Structure 1
Amino acid sequence: MNTKDFYYDLPQERIAQTPLKDRSKSKLMDFDKNTGSVSHRIFEDIVNDFGENDLLVLNNTRVLPARMYGIKEETGAKIEILLTKRIALKTWEVMAKPAKRLRHGAKVKFSDELSARVTEELEEGMRILEFEYEGVFEEIIEKIGTMPLPPYIKEKLTDQERYQTVYSKIKGSSAAPTAGLHFTEEILDILEKKGVQIEYVTLHVGLGTFKTVSVEDVENHVMHSEYYKIDEETANRINLAKAKGKKITCVGTTSVRTIESAAVDGKLKNLEGETQIFIYPPYKFKMVDALVTNFHLPESTLIMLISAFSDREKILNAYDTAVEEKYRFFSFGDAMYIH
């Protein structure tokens, strides 16, 4: 398949720049993956779609303030980095700007508490940095780092927690699992009281969220690896629910990639590791029955994933409808329930 097969025309004004004050008031497009039919609701209405025979999978990763600014010690040049993946306790893979100024051995000072040295030069502006600090790394970057909003968001985020899900717990992501941004404590409480089985998995969202598909042939695209983990007890409960015929609904493409990466012969078995899973048509899903997701960038791996979950033409038709109906797109935008 060609990357251009997943293009759709999106006016700039449809890209949401700020989150709604109330997470649950986003629009919700209800999409039948078999027929392609759509209806329009408010997100909080999604509680009416779930009951005792449903299981909801949420990604509990928490976004790090992963964008940091420093000074190259040798020259005083301004440097920007984005933490993308932890390699070891003090070693990270980062995206650097301008990368050409960070050659092997270069040292960057971010604050009196934190500095780093380049230990390896990678392609596409990526570098391996070994950090120097005393204390707890996460506590230091909480003080000096900023939330790594995607490049299409130009507005400043006044409340940093609006780029975190209300159930975020395990620190490590470079971007939010944005479908989960619509959920509130109240919605989760209602679902639990209705008997919905809610389970949490972890996938630390990395560079793949920011990287566009630059190759013409979809099959030639290479995904960056991302760390995932599913607790054994959680996996056992999900496997039991699947065996009983419960509907497995994932919140967000990251939850989908976690579950599908761990699945072997219809059961979750590979419970921890690095995944480079790239889902595009005609991928056959092993575990997932339904999906709550946002509206994704044209020609992105994410729109390819949901096209595999339904049908490319039906998805693109639904996206055209979303544009006509003035849905808000991307990270702070509206939601889609595909079932």
Structure 2
Amino acid sequence: MDLAEFDYELPPSAIAQRPAPSRDGSRLLLIDRARGALEDHAFAALPDLLRPGDCLVVNDSRVIPARVLARDVASGRDVEVLFLEPEQAGRWWTLVRPGRRACPGTELAVGGAGGPRLRVAAVGSDGRRVVERLDGTIPELLDARGMPPLPPYIARHAAPSPEDRERYQTVYAEPPGSVAAPTAGLHFTQRLLDRLGARGVEVHALTLHVGVATFRPIRTRRVEAHVLPPERVSIPPAVAGAVNAARAEGRRVVAVGTTTTRALEAAAGAGSVEPCQGAADLYIYPGYRFRVVDALLTNFHLPRTSLLVLVSAFAGRELILKAYRHAVGAGYRFYSYGDATLIQ
């Protein structure tokens, strides 16, 4: 399929710059695949839209304060360092911007002269930099100086507010490792989770640490030619067992987010979800046959991204674009801090 088929028009005013006043105060667009119908709801109505016995699976990865501002010691120029994941021996893979002159041996001072020191140790073939800290550990640096890695379409991404430290994180976040939020989960409150439990909906958690490549636009003309880099995934045996039991009993598996969807589908072996701890690089595009997920709760996605391609594979491209056109006209808020869809 041609990449242009996954484009749509969005006025800049539709991009949410701040979260809703309350997490579950956002809106929810129900997309009914069987009827091709759309329904407008409040996100707080989610328990009424799900069924008793549904198996709801969330991604509990915690967003790390991955963005650090520094200065090139030799040239004095300001740079931004986005820490992606550990490499080895305390070193991390990073993105350095601007990075053209960040060659091996370049030293960076965090926050200016006198701040913690970093050094570029190596440059990868994809332009990423391996960075080491000269006077301590990188996790300590991120805890003390790191900022939430807001996406660039949020105008204040370079200077996040205290509110972002709380709201760009799910209430059930546990193991740290993501450099972008699994945004479908941002709408949940503990009270809403309790209501789901009272409704008879099971809630289970897996972990997929979200990398920056997940949200980047596809660069290949043919959608099928795109390649997703691997991301770290963990599905505990109890969660795999709960998902398999739901499927065996004819109950629905509802994935919260595209990351949860990819993790579950990647772990689906010969008829069952296998516990796993490793890397997953499953790229889902139209023509893929879903083996596990029956319903998908997800935010609105950027055009020409693997995320929009995935939801198009799940619901059909025409229905998704119809839903997005409706959402624009109805004043829905888009992207990370925006509203959600429930596709079932």
Do the structures match in fold with TM over 0.5?
yes
Match of 1:143 in 2: 144
Match of 2:121 in 1: 119
Q: Residues of 2 paired with 1:290 and 1:131: CA distance?
A: 44
Match of 2:197 among 167, 192, 201: 192
Match of 2:131 in 1: 129
Quote how far apart the aligned CAs of 1:188 are: 0.1
What is the TM-score when the length of structure 2 is the normalising length?
A: 0.94
Counterpart code for 1:284:
R
Quote how far apart the aligned CAs of 1:235 are: 1.5
Match of 2:161 in 1: 157
1:76 partnered with 2:81: no
Counterpart code for 2:277:
E
Match of 1:232 in 2: 237
Counterpart code for 1:309:
F
Counterpart code for 1:148:
P
1:264 partnered with 2:269: yes
**Match of 1:150, SS?**
coil
**8 Å CA contact retained: 1:150, 1:210:** no
Q: Residues of 1 paired with 2:281 and 2:134: CA distance?
A: 30
**8 Å CA contact retained: 1:262, 1:271:** yes
Q: Residues of 2 paired with 1:37 and 1:86: CA distance?
A: 45
Q: Residues of 2 paired with 1:210 and 1:284: CA distance?
A: 22
Match of 1:55 in 2: 55
User: When the two structures are aligned, how many residues end up with a matched partner?
Assistant: 338
Counterpart code for 2:295:
A
Identical amino acids, percent of aligned pairs: 39
Q: Residues of 2 paired with 1:66 and 1:304: CA distance?
A: 27
**8 Å CA contact retained: 2:69, 2:78:** yes
Match of 1:106 in 2: 106
Quote how far apart the aligned CAs of 1:43 are: 0.3
Match of 1:23 in 2: 23
Q: Residues of 2 paired with 1:109 and 1:176: CA distance?
A: 27
Quote how far apart the aligned CAs of 1:124 are: 5.2
Quote how far apart the aligned CAs of 1:270 are: 5.4
Q: Unaligned regions of 5+ residues in structure 2, if any?
A: none
Q: Residues of 2 paired with 1:116 and 1:36: CA distance?
A: 54
Match of 1:292 in 2: 297
Greater CA drift, 246-255 or 82-91: 82-91
Match of 2:316 among 262, 286, 311: 311
Match of 2:45 in 1: 45
Quote how far apart the aligned CAs of 1:28 are: 0.6
**8 Å CA contact retained: 2:217, 2:303:** no
Greater CA drift, 227-236 or 11-20: 227-236
Quote how far apart the aligned CAs of 1:210 are: 3.7
**Superposition CA RMSD, Å:** 1.6
